[in-house]
Structure 1
Amino acid sequence: MRARGRTSRWLWRWRANPLRRHDDVLEAWLVLAVWLIVAVGGTFAGFMAARSAADVLAHQRAERAPVPAVLLTDAPQASETYRRAVVTVRWTPVGGPARTGKTLVDAGRTAGSHVVVWTNPRGDLTTEPPGPTESLAEAALFGAGAALGVTGLALGAGAVGRCLLDRRRVESWGREWDQLAPH
């Protein structure tokens, strides 16, 4: 009997009650819908965003390749604010002619030094792809961000809906009071 009492209190908005108003039922359904969207929609959005990010990052790791390069200019010495510098390098992509371009290297390197640069399938310079651990962390952050975004939108929409229902209830109480006050 006690468990049934708890359940009936939890579901009070749906049970037959002479004091229950139509707005109470609407609010109960609104709250249920918001929590379903948070639970199901947030989880789904987070999972899909994390999976998409992981796929993109895995594709980057698969297509980018390290290539040896030679510095053509000296890199300036390190300062308190800059530990890296942009210099001109020459590299030979796989199956292609030698190319030159600018990239970031550690400060203080001299011309003729050997460095490793990363190239895309066309042989153009690109950034080093994130490693598996970094990719996992980035994918998790993207997934959490998507889940929080869906959750925030659902909770915000639910709060606006409840505010509108509260305003409607207050106006209804005002009309009822105007009818009863003279008596």
Structure 2
Amino acid sequence: MRAAIGLWRWRHNPLRRSTDLVEAWVALAAAVLLCLAVPLTGWTVGTSAYGSLARAVRTQQEQRVATTARVVRLADGPVSGPKSVETAGEERLRRSVVAHWTAPDGSARTGTVATARQHSAPGASFRLWTDRTGHPVAPPMQPGTARAHAVVAGLTAALLAGLLVELVRRLAVRRLVVRRYARLDRAWAAAGPDWGRTGTGS
């Protein structure tokens, strides 16, 4: 961690400048934030995300019902309706079929749905998820998937927080360096007329 490099500037010596001490405090503040605030940010975001996803999992499990559908024939076209990113990626592994299933209220339903290719032969049965009205829906999110998404969200938040701390530290150090060079330029300008003269100041 490069933020700790500036801590040596606390050492007492006659050449230490005020900007050196400020840079040391900036480095200490960055180190504390990286050790405490960044993990806390990741934990808070991950916990919040998991809480929201866990509620979504419970809601989906309450509102979606698994049933057994039976293939009637292959469909003439793809399944209609909105498609998620996951569904679009799985289309090449699935087939659109006309299937028959029973809704939660006991009524018979027939429609075009997607199923795995190995279950697309007429007469084959497969698991189908429906809502309470009997319309096909995506399977409910699994608790393990919710935990994985929450972990990714927490790690991403911690990473972004760490990058923000490092960016602020670098900007602060850059301003200190600019001020340091400006003071040096002024000092050289003041000493310039007498530089190199024998007996200067005598």
Q: Does structure 1 residue 49 correspond to structure 2 residue 45?
A: yes
Contact kept, 8 Å, 2:7 with 2:25, in 1: the verdict is no
Q: Does structure 1 residue 138 correspond to structure 2 residue 149?
A: yes
Q: Which residue of 1 aligns with 2:55?
A: 59
2:117 alignment partner, one of 107, 125, 141 = 107
Distance in 1 (alpha carbons) for counterparts of 2:133 and 2:9: 64
Contact kept, 8 Å, 1:75 with 1:106, in 2: the verdict is no
Runs of 5+ consecutive residues of structure 2 not aligned to the other structure: 1-5, 77-90, 195-202
Distance in 1 (alpha carbons) for counterparts of 2:97 and 2:48: 34
User: When the two structures are aligned, how many residues end up with a matched partner?
Assistant: 170
Tell me which structure has the larger Cα radius of gyration: 2
Q: Which residue of 2 aligns with 1:26?
A: 22
Q: Which amino acid aligns with 2:37?
A: G
Contact kept, 8 Å, 1:75 with 1:110, in 2: the verdict is no
Higher helix share: 2
Contact kept, 8 Å, 2:65 with 2:132, in 1: the verdict is no
Q: Does structure 1 residue 74 correspond to structure 2 residue 74?
A: yes
1:163/1:118 Cα in 2 relative to 1: closer, same or farther (>3 Å)? farther
Q: Which residue of 2 aligns with 1:85?
A: 95
Runs of 5+ consecutive residues of structure 1 not aligned to the other structure: 1-9
Contact kept, 8 Å, 2:65 with 2:104, in 1: the verdict is no
Question: What's the secondary structure of 1:82's corresponding residue?
Answer: helix
Q: Quote the offset at 1:50 in angstroms.
A: 1.7
Q: Does structure 1 residue 38 correspond to structure 2 residue 60?
A: no
Q: Quote the offset at 1:100 in angstroms.
A: 5.8
Question: What's the secondary structure of 1:118's corresponding residue?
Answer: strand
Question: What's the secondary structure of 1:126's corresponding residue?
Answer: coil
RMSD: 3.2
The 5-angstrom pairing of residues 8-19 of structure 1 reads 12-14=8-10, 17-19=13-15
Distance in 2 (alpha carbons) for counterparts of 1:101 and 1:56: 33
Identity %: 30
1:94/1:156 Cα in 2 relative to 1: closer, same or farther (>3 Å)? same
Distance in 2 (alpha carbons) for counterparts of 1:119 and 1:35: 52
- TM-score normalised per structure 2: 0.66
Distance in 1 (alpha carbons) for counterparts of 2:149 and 2:122: 36
- TM-score normalised per structure 1: 0.72
Q: Quote the offset at 1:142 in angstroms.
A: 1.7
Structure 1 window deviating more from structure 2 (41-50 vs 64-73): it is 64-73
CA shift digits 1:9-52 (9 cap, x unpaired): x9654465443322222212222222222222211221122212
